[in-house]
């Protein structure tokens, strides 16, 4: 079997310039070129009831996500073709029957966006209903997760470990048992940079490095070790006697029955979808972590813990307690990211100098730069 070579960099490249983390120009170009052109996670299908409209924001655009009584999904720009009023002015509200109806003047649209009624208004012959439908937004379902894209031609939905990587987890059937939202005082890229290295793990995450021994070395995988030898036996992913990221390391309920021996031995499976989310799948539960770039120096982080209905039905089951281990790790990461952001504002900081172990940060920077919208003439 072919052995993967070490992923470590053979040089110490520079990172993004300091202004990338706080300049309004950078943020605007990222909103247009990255967040406005990628697939963005907006919630689970199971948590959006049929006959419901939900007001959401993607890349600064006001959108409405709809699910009809038949369970179908549609998404549109949240603006009526009449005079521009919001179709959904609340975070979430019920639809009026099968139609999407503007709350201002009652113009009504079919679920496919066609204008079907102007209510009390009486158009003249020069008005063509077919020209005044809603502006559609592309949507995609994957493992019970809803993604939207503002792009005219959306890219492929491409998790880093492939679309089939979570097939053995019953994703569609899981139930949201606990969630938390944290507004971070940092640029969204700072979060992803922290996510993409473990040099910080020994100093920032004492509980985590105890649970995942390889992290004690400041690396994310055995292949990153200086003494890595392809083909040599590798240590277990999790500390002896633990099987999951629960407070005591024990499964919080029945283990998912279709996991392979390799998936169980791995201890955790990370799936990453830039720029919007990552998923951590364990033998007994799954965690979704969503990012929203809310400003040049602010990011909203939302985590959701998913369980089987059988696990949630256990007497005395406490989903928040189960989530507390990972929640602690995220709070530690949040504090580190905010500390990083404050230092980036120094007049003396020009750009990062990445270490060999920060190969994934280097790759992330190249991913960002390849997708940035160009500067306008006024910005040059």
Residue 52's domain is classified under what CATH number?
2.102.10.10
Domain boundary, last residue among 106, 135, 154: 154
**Spatial distance between the Cα atoms of 318 and 315, rounded to a whole number of angstroms:** 9
Please say if the pLDDT value at position 280 is more than 90: yes
Determine how many CB atoms are found less than 10 A away from the CB of residue 311: 22
For 130, the domain range is: 39-154
Do 209 and 293 sit in the same domain of this protein?
yes
State in Å, rounded, how far the first CA of the chain is from the last one.
Answer: 51
pLDDT reported for residue 147: 98
Q: Centre a 10 Å sphere on the Cβ of residue 141 and count the other Cβ atoms it contains.
A: 13
Domains in the chain, number = 2
| 128/191 same-domain check | no
Q: Is 30 found in the same domain as 66?
A: no
Please return the burial class of 60, using the count of CB atoms within 10 Å of its CB with bins 0-12, 13-18 and 19+.
middle
Residue 214 to residue 219: CA distance in whole angstroms: 6
Q: What is the pLDDT of residue 4?
A: 58
Question: What was the pLDDT predicted at 377?
Answer: 55
**Looking at the structure, do residues 117 and 231 belong to the same domain, yes or no?**
no
Whole-model pTM: value is: 0.94
6 occurs within a structural domain: no
* pLDDT (0 to 100) of residue 96: 85
Distances (CA, A) of 334 to 183, 205, 292, 329: 9, 12, 14, 9
Query: Is residue 280 domain-resident?
Result: yes
Check if the beta carbon of residue 311 is closer than 8 Å to that of residue 317. yes
Does one domain contain both 140 and 171?
A: no
Closest CA to 35 of 366, 291, 363: 291
Measured CA distances, 203 to 119, 200, 207, 338 (Å): 63, 6, 10, 16
Q: Do 142 and 185 share a domain, yes or no? A: no
* 43, pLDDT greater than 80: yes
On whether residue 9 sits in a domain, the answer given is no
- The two tokens of residue 86 are 């919001």
Query: Would residue 7 count as lying in a domain?
Result: no
pLDDT digits (tens, 9 = 90+) for 217-256: 999 998 898 888 777 777 889 999 999 999 999 999 999 9
Residue written as token pair 């979060």: 191
2 is a domain residue: no
Flag whether pLDDT at 1 surpasses 80. no
Among 133, 154, 175, the domain-final residue is 154
2, pLDDT greater than 60: no
**Per-residue pLDDT, 128:** 97
Q: For residue 178, is pLDDT > 60? A: yes
Per-residue confidence (pLDDT) for residue 378, from 0 to 100: 47
Do residues 127 and 20 both lie within one domain?
A: no
- Dump pLDDT digits (tens) for 18-39: 999 999 999 999 999 999 999 9
Q: Specify whether 111 is located in the same domain as 204.
A: no
Output the pLDDT for position 340: 98
- Band the pLDDT of 187: cuts 50, 70, 90: very high
Mean pLDDT of 84-110: 94
Domain co-membership, 272 together with 342: yes
Q: Are 76 and 208 within one domain?
A: no
108 and 227 fall within a common domain: no
3, part of any domain? no
pLDDT (mean) for 198-208: 98
The average pLDDT across 296-315 equals 98
- Domain assignment present for 113: yes
Phi, psi of 29 (to 5 degrees): -70, -35
Among candidate residues 154, 174, 205, the one where a domain is terminated: 154
Look up the CATH number of the domain holding residue 251.
Answer: 3.90.380.10
Residue 228's pLDDT is what? 81
Is residue 337 domain-resident?
Answer: yes
- Average pLDDT over the chain, rounded to an integer: 95
Same domain, 45 and 98: yes
For range 145-157, the mean pLDDT: 97
């Amino acid at each position: 079997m072919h052995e993967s070579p070490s992923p470590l960099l053979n040089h110490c490249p520079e990172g993004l310039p300091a202004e990338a983390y706080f300049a309004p120009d950078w943020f605007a170009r990222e909103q247009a070129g990255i967040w406005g052109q990628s697939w963005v996670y907006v919630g689970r299908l199971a948590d959006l009831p049929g006959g419901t409209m939900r007001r959401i924001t993607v890349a600064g655009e006001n959108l409405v996500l709809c699910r009809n009584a038949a369970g179908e999904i549609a998404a549109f720009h949240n603006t009526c073709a009449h005079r521009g009023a919001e179709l959904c002015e609340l975070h979430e509200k019920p639809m009026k029957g099968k139609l999407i109806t503007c709350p201002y003047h009652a113009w009504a649209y079919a679920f496919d966006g066609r204008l079907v009624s102007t209510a009390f208004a009486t158009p003249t012959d020069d008005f063509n209903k077919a020209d005044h439908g809603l502006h559609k937004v592309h949507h995609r379902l994957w493992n019970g997760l809803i993604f939207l894209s503002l792009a005219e031609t959306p890219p492929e939905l491409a998790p880093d470990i492939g679309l089939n990587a979570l097939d053995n987890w019953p994703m569609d059937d899981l139930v949201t048992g606990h969630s938390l939202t944290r507004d971070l005082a940092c640029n969204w890229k700072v979060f992803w940079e922290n996510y993409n290295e473990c040099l910080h793990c020994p100093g920032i995450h004492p509980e985590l490095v105890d649970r995942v021994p390889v992290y004690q070395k400041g690396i994310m995988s055995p292949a990153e070790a200086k003494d890595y030898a392809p083909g040599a036996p590798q240590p277990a992913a999790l500390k002896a006697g633990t099987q999951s990221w629960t407070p005591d390391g024990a499964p919080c309920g029945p283990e998912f029955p279709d996991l392979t021996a390799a998936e169980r031995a791995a201890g955790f499976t990370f799936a990453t979808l830039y720029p919007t989310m990552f998923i951590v799948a364990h033998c007994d539960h799954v965690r979704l972590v969503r990012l929203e770039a809310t400003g040049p120096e602010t990011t909203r982080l939302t985590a959701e813990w998913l369980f089987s209905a059988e696990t949630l039905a256990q007497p005395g089951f406490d989903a928040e307690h189960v989530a507390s281990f990972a929640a602690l790790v995220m709070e530690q990461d949040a504090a580190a990211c905010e500390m990083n952001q404050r230092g980036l504002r120094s007049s003396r900081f020009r750009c990062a100098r990445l270490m060999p172990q920060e190969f994934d940060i280097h790759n992330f920077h190249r991913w960002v730069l390849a997708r940035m919208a160009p500067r306008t003439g006024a910005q040059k």
